[in-house]
Amino acid sequence: MRAALTRAAGGVLLAGAAAAQDLPPGDPEAGRRIAGQCRTCHGIDGYAQIPIAPHIGGEPAGYLADQLLAFREGRREHEMMSVVAANLSDQQIADVAAWYAAHEAVATLAADPADAPQPCVACHRADGIGVTEDVPNLAAESNIYIETQLKAFRSGKRVHEVMSPIAADLSDAEIREFADWYNDIALDIQPME
């Protein structure tokens, strides 16, 4: 029942919302100029500089654009990102998403993939690299960031049709275990050429 209500609430929130596929094509070079305002937290090439910010280099453009649109429209809230995104046009969102997506994220897994968190691997793989355009990479994300996001999905502060029902059933110990797994993966973000 809880999962059904979560999905229904997510659908209501998304009705009428802008989506990445509605944006104009992005220009990575124009996005590089916009990324200057992202560098303090996310780095110019998308490797996060602080533990509460995610690595965004090599993320799919559609995923990045959807997150920026969600911050801009108030469907996702963060004290810094909501302010930054509020001032971005559709073209700027498409451009900065294209810039970061033009990088390649390469994960190196030192542990046995069989030990990866099973509720996560279908979408994020054992090495933390998302399998589709709408799935973010988790490789080398700080355990603080992952734990915060999973708890936000669990509490309903963040709503997603897949993540909310998964997180709803996770204990604090499981959340920390999953966060630690992805935190321990090595990540190299290779800049666009």
pLDDT tens, 105-122?
999 999 999 999 999 999
CA 82 to chain CA centroid, nearest Å: 15
Measured N-to-C along each axis, helices 90-101 and 61-73 cross at an angle, to the nearest 10 degrees, of 140
pLDDT tens, 96-107?
999 999 999 999
The pLDDT value recorded for residue 20 is: 79
Beta bridge partners of 186: 108
The pLDDT value recorded for residue 167 is: 98
The single-letter DSSP state of residue 114 is: G
Distance, CA of 123 to CA of 171 (rounded, Å): 20
Residue among 54, 63, 135 at smallest CA distance from 98: 63
Domain at 133, CATH number = 1.10.760.10
How confident is the prediction along the chain (193 residues), in pLDDT tens digits per residue? Answer: 334 433 444 443 444 467 878 899 999 999 999 999 999 999 999 999 999 999 999 999 999 999 999 999 999 999 999 999 999 999 999 999 999 999 999 999 999 999 999 999 999 999 999 999 999 999 999 999 999 999 999 999 999 999 999 999 999 999 999 999 999 999 999 987 7
In the chain, the number of structural domains is 1
Alpha helices in the chain (DSSP H): 2-14, 28-34, 39-42, 61-73, 81-86, 90-101, 118-124, 143-155, 163-168, 172-183
Question: What does each C-alpha distance from 54 to 4, 49, 94, 145, 171 come to in angstroms?
Answer: 29, 9, 19, 7, 22
Distance, CA of 96 to CA of 72 (rounded, Å): 14
User: Residue 151 CB: number of other CB atoms within 10 A?
Assistant: 16
pTM value is: 0.87
Q: Domain range spanning residue 25? A: 2-190
Residue among 100, 71, 64 at smallest CA distance from 86: 71
The pLDDT value recorded for residue 193 is: 72
